[in-house]
Structure 1
Amino acid sequence: MLTVKLKKNEDRRLRAGHLWIYSNEIDITETPIKGVEAGTLCRFADTRGKILGIGYINPTALLCGRLLTGKADATIDVGWFQRRLQSALNLRKRVYPTPHYRMVFGDSDGLPGLVVDRYDDVLVVQLTTAGMELLKPLVLDALTRVLKPRGILLRNDTSAREIEGLSSYEEVIGDVPEVVDLVESGVAFKAPIRGGQKTGWFYDQHLNRDRLDSYSKGSRVLDVFSYVGAWAVRAARFGATEIACVDSSKLALDSAKVNAELNGFTVETHQGEALDVLKRLRGEGKLYDVVVVDPPALIKRKRDTDAGTEHYAALNRQAIQLLAPDGILISCSCSFHMEASELQRILLREARAAGRRLQILEQGGQAQDHPVHPAIPETKYLKSFVCRLA
């Protein structure tokens, strides 16, 4: 196995528990990596030659190495993947009463470059790095042994693959339907895994949607960036009298209607860009008791910070204008590059500009199936504020 030596002192982050190696940390004089196949398994060593562990390398990427294990004598085979997957499964089974959750959350589960969402006996898998792509046969074999799924959908269409020099593709193994059933806190949903967003459902907001219990009864609720209506339908189950969804996707809104009907409710839908729809609703004199603003990541790269921050501000500005007196605003950000303190600052500024008094009632993050790796800040990305606007 190839041994890749790091420059002096560049091993400190790995020794602290991190899993990433950047190209400028590698001593290419001692161990030239040009020409090595992207994704090749290798040992990483410090400048003295002491092995730090085994991982894989992609010489064409800035983030060129990922550590799989700190054990120098480990064998990365089906059995190794089975043990990692079983560890991930043990956590989810301990927390969730039904088999609907993110089964693998990449680095946080010791499987960098791998994401697996579970819908009972159907799995949606994403391989986001060249290393995991090369290890795909082992991954699929181990998943089959541990979970025995009837179907696996490989949705390898993320932007991360482009950075790794990988092409996008979708592959179906076994029996994979267009739409799958899932249960969240006792509420039934259908998720379009073949044509929907990302892996079909956003499990990371599970705990934050649970928070609706305290605020939904007797309320008019507006779910912005609703996708398939998870927030709105959960609010209806908690006693909301009216629910409405805003999304740019017709497929998403059609799915929201299905999910509402599945639970015995009706939902009003508004298709279009969120800011345009919010402005139109304001012009129509609409008011809501609860408004949820849960956009996709608006700051994907650090250089997008200014534009993304203004977009978050504009969305929350319009949402506040639609809130009835003493209304509840649930504002979220899944952008790693936006700190919770910055989102709080935006909420305060926009509330004051609207002449409203802001009270923060609760703060939330990602659910337990998206565990945070304490040495990798990037694994802690989701922020949620529950606010009252007096």
Structure 2
Amino acid sequence: MSDAVEYSPLYLKRGEEARLRAGHLWVFSNEVDVKRSPLTAFAPGDICIILDHAGKPLGVGYVNPNSLICARLVARGLDHALDRSLFVHKLNVALSLRQRLYAEPFYRLVFGESDGLPGLTLDRFGDVIVGQTTTAGMERLKDEITEAVVKVLKPSALVWKNDAGIRSMEQLPEYADIGYGSLDAPVVVREGGVEFECDVIGGQKTGWFYDQQANRDRMARYVAGKRVLDVCSYLGGWGLRAAAMGASEVVCVDVSQHAVDAIRRNIERNGLGDRVTAVKADAFDELKRLREQRERFDVVVLDPPAFVKRKKDFSEGRIAYRRLNEMGMQILARDGILVTCSCSYHMPRAALLDSVQQAARHLDRHVQVLEQLQQGADHPVHPGIAETDYLKGFICRVLPA
């Protein structure tokens, strides 16, 4: 590759290449041989060739000397430059999977490391693409990414939703704007025959949580003819899908007025006003109020934001998950269904299940796990990168002891 030889070398210390050879894509600052390739010689986002201690190239990546994860590998070997051509190739590979999985163009198109593009997320809403770059390297390559997206997908718009707090770790500014084309109509996602209007500039994340789509698909056997509570509802994903699957009554709860207003628009959009209501309230406060009012639901869905964003938050977050599950169980009807989830990578699946069991025993209830939930197939897990396996959940039957 003619361009690659022009990239600066980044040498690893002896033995530090093992994790990369095993499939991982990250280089930590303490793994770099700074005598041969001082990190101070790189600017954030510089492209580099990553080499082992013996000088054998591992591949091409990019550097941020200010970050603990100081480099990320994007292309193995030296056959590809980090340019539009490489992004076109990787987008086509990612697209082929999604087209195999989904009948309609609504999905996560690129899931960072799992699709060989660390630091990049692309979500597809029909002919609108919403992207996030969370690293200085991908930020520097935005023009090449945009050109590749336009070539492969020919979208009407590409929105950069770069307001995630994680960008601060790379010393990147936060912003959200249209990088290509224009938004001439509300952005709509269609899931299970239900339409949801999404705010892809001012909303949460990229505007929609595609990672739960397959899990919402699994609700039908549990909700038909039932009374359902959807806690931390956001745009009503679980609740409106439950209503479309035949739930007799659905209550959606979210603390954000912006989200509640959006839920109400989506209720009207889908003609579900006779069965679905939206309530603005804190999840814990509303569960307490419902318990005091002796309300009962056949199905309770708990899909909160991450309570454990960092490893040091684990103890406090674990208590929060237990408390939330306990309060959810307290308003379940006899022989009810609890759907409980965590998107916290630092909350292991076993710890979440333990919080469910502790909550049940405290209430003298018996839990049967019916199904285990994980992120959808458009968020594939990279077997060499544990961090890509983050979403976990359970569909549980809750009975008197």
The aligned residue for residue 78 of structure 2 is 72
2:248 to 241, 252, 258: 241
Partner amino acid for 2:144? L
The one of 34, 45, 50 equivalent to 1:44 is 50
Aligned-residue offset at 1:108: 0.5
**What CA distance in whole angstroms lies between the structure 1 residues aligned with 2:298 and 2:286?**
17
In the other structure, the counterpart of 2:384 is: 375
Deviations 1:112-135 (A, max 9, x none): 110111101111111110000111
Question: Where does residue 341 of structure 2 map in the other structure?
Answer: 332
Distance 1:287 1:374 in 2: 41
Equivalent residues of 1:364, 1:383 under 8 A apart: yes
Q: How does 1:258-297 map to 2 (within 5 A)?
A: 258-266=265-273, 267-297=276-306
Local SS of the residue matching 2:308: coil
Which residue identity does 1:227 align to in structure 2?
Y
The answer to whether the aligner puts 1:30 opposite 2:32 as a matched pair is: no
Map of 2:264 onto structure 1: 257
Q: How does 1:62-101 map to 2 (within 5 A)?
A: 62-101=68-107
Residue 325 of structure 2 corresponds to which residue in structure 1?
316
Residue identity opposite 1:302 in structure 2: K
Q: Which residue of structure 1 aligns with residue 238 of structure 2?
A: 231
CA distance in structure 2 between the aligned counterparts of 1:181 and 1:30, rounded to whole angstroms: 51
Show the counterpart of 1:389. Answer: 398
Q: Choose 359-368 or 191-200, whichever is displaced more.
A: 191-200
CA distance in 2, matches of 1:71, 1:186: 44
Instruction: Name the amino acid aligned to 1:171.
Output: D
Q: Deviations over 1:164-195 (max 9, x none)?
A: 01111122132125731121123222212122
CA deviation vs aligned residue, 1:26-62 (integer Å, no higher than 9, x gap): 0101111204110100001111111111000000100
Tell me how far apart the structure 1 counterparts of residues 280 and 155 of structure 2 sit (CA, whole Å): 35
Q: Which residue of 1 aligns with 2:4?
A: none
Matching of residues 108-257 of structure 1 within 5 Å: 108-172=114-178, 173-177=180-184, 179-257=186-264
Matched residues in 2 for 1:148 and 1:269: separation? 37
Q: Distance in 2 between matches of 1:257 and 1:327?
A: 26
Decide whether the 8 Å contact of 2:108 with 2:123 is kept in 1.
yes
The C-alpha deviation readout for 1:192-239, integer Å capped at 9, x for no partner, is 212211110000001110111110011100000000101001111111
SS of the aligned residue for 2:147 comes to: helix
Corresponding residue SS for 1:34: helix
| Residues 178, 192 of structure 1: 8 Å contact kept | no
Give 2:306's aligned amino acid.
A
* Long gaps (5+) in structure 1: none
Letter in 1 for 2:128: V
Assess if the C-alpha contact under 8 Å between 1:178 and 1:193 holds in 2. Answer: no
Q: Check 1:232–1:35 CA distance in 2 against 1; reply closer, same or farther (3 A cut).
A: same
Give the share of equivalent positions with the same residue, in percent. 48
What is the rounded CA distance, in whole Å, between the counterparts of 1:339 and 1:69 in structure 2?
A: 30
Provide the TM-score with structure 1 as the length reference: 0.98
Letter in 1 for 2:130: V
How many residue pairs match? The answer is 390
Cα distance in 2, alignment partners of residues 170 and 180 from structure 1: 15
AA partner of residue 69 (structure 2): L
Conserved in 1, the CA contact under 8 Å of 2:287 and 2:327? yes
User: Residue type matched to 1:174 in 2?
Assistant: G
Deviation at 1:71, TM superposition (A): 1.6
Q: Does 1:102 find its partner at 2:111?
A: no
> Secondary structure of 2:39's partner?
coil
**3-state secondary structure, aligned to 2:223:** coil
Amino acid at match of 2:119: G
Matched letter for residue 284 of structure 1: Q
